[in-house]
Structure 1
Amino acid sequence: MAIEAGQPIDELKVTPDRFLPIRYAGASGDFNPIHTDKEYATMVGLPSTILHGLYSMAQVARALTDNAGGPANVKSLSVQFRGMGFPEKEITVSGSTTSVEDGVATVELVAEQDGNQIIRNAVGTAAV
C-alpha cells in the first residue's frame, strides 16, 4: 500500500459483463428488475439495466484491500453513492493516501465509469 501522504494507490479496472447483475442478484437477494430486466429498466426511465450499488462499493473495497495487502489490514470504509453504474463499461477505482498516523493509512478513493463518478468521497483506513 502507498504509505506516504499524497501517494496514489494502484488503480483497479474492472468491466462487469452483461450477466453480472443477474449473478449479483442471486448472491445478494436483490432482484429489483432495474438490475436484471432491460425492458423494465427502460420502461421506468433508465437507459438500461444498472449495476447494484453494493457491487460498485465492493470494487472500491477490493481496491483498498488489494492495496492494503489483504483484508486483515482494512480497518474501515465509507462511501457516497453518486451515480449509476452500467454493465459492459469499465469501472476505474483510483485514490491516494491522505495521511499515515500510528501505523494506519487513510486513503481517499473514487469509482468512475465513462468519466462519471459513481462512488465518491470514499474513505478507507488500513494498517501499514
Structure 2
Amino acid sequence: MARTFQVGDTFTHVRECDLYRPIYYAGASGDFNPIHIDPEVGKVAGLDGVILQGLCTLGWAVEAVAVFVGDPGRIRKVKARFSRPVRPEDVVTFEGKVTAIEADRLTTEVTATNQRGEAVLKGAVVEASIG
C-alpha cells in the first residue's frame, strides 16, 4: 500500500559527527582539504580545529527526506545554505516539514541544528517525487 503525504507532515532525523567522520568522508568524496583532516590547519584558518565537509551535512539533510519518503531514488531537487560548520562530536538534528504537494512532487523545508541549538543549514528545501 502506497504511503500518503499531507502538507504539514513532519519528520526528524539525527546524525552524530563522530571524530573520524571528516576523514571517512574525505576518503569517500576525495575532499581532502586540510581544514577537514588536520586540526592545526583548521586552527590556523580560524575554525578552532577540523570541520565536517559541508556536502556531508547536506547529504544528511537529503537522507532525512529520503528516509521520510521511503526511497532515496525519489529525491529530485535540493537547495540549502550552510550557516555554521559541523564539528566532530556535534549531534545534528534535522527537522523537516512538508510545505507543498503538487501533482507527484512533494516539497519539504528542512532545518538542521547542532546540540547547542545553532543552525548549521538554513533555507534547505528538498523536493521528492511521490507518484
TM-score normalised over the length of structure 2: 0.89
**How many Å separate the matches in 1 of 2:56 and 2:67?**
16
Residue 124 of structure 2 corresponds to residue 122 of structure 1: yes
**How many Å separate the matches in 1 of 2:35 and 2:68?**
32
TM-score normalised over the length of structure 1: 0.91
Deviations 1:51-102 (A, max 9, x none): 0000000000100110111122222111111111111110111110011121
**How many Å separate the matches in 1 of 2:93 and 2:19?**
17
**How many Å separate the matches in 2 of 1:64 and 1:2?**
15
Percent identity of the aligned residues?
A: 32
Aligned residues: 127
Q: CA contact under 8 A between 2:17 and 2:86: conserved in structure 1?
A: no
Q: Offset of 1:117 from its aligned partner?
A: 1.1
From 7, 10, 14, the counterpart of 1:8 = 10
Q: Offset of 1:7 from its aligned partner?
A: 1.9
Q: Offset of 1:2 from its aligned partner?
A: 7.2
Distance 1:83 1:62, change over 3 A: same
Corresponding letter in the other structure for 2:9: Q
Q: Offset of 1:3 from its aligned partner?
A: 1.6
Note the 1:14-25 alignment, pairs <5 A: 14-25=15-26
Structure 1: tracts of 5 or more residues without a match: none
The equivalent of 1:89 in structure 2 is 90
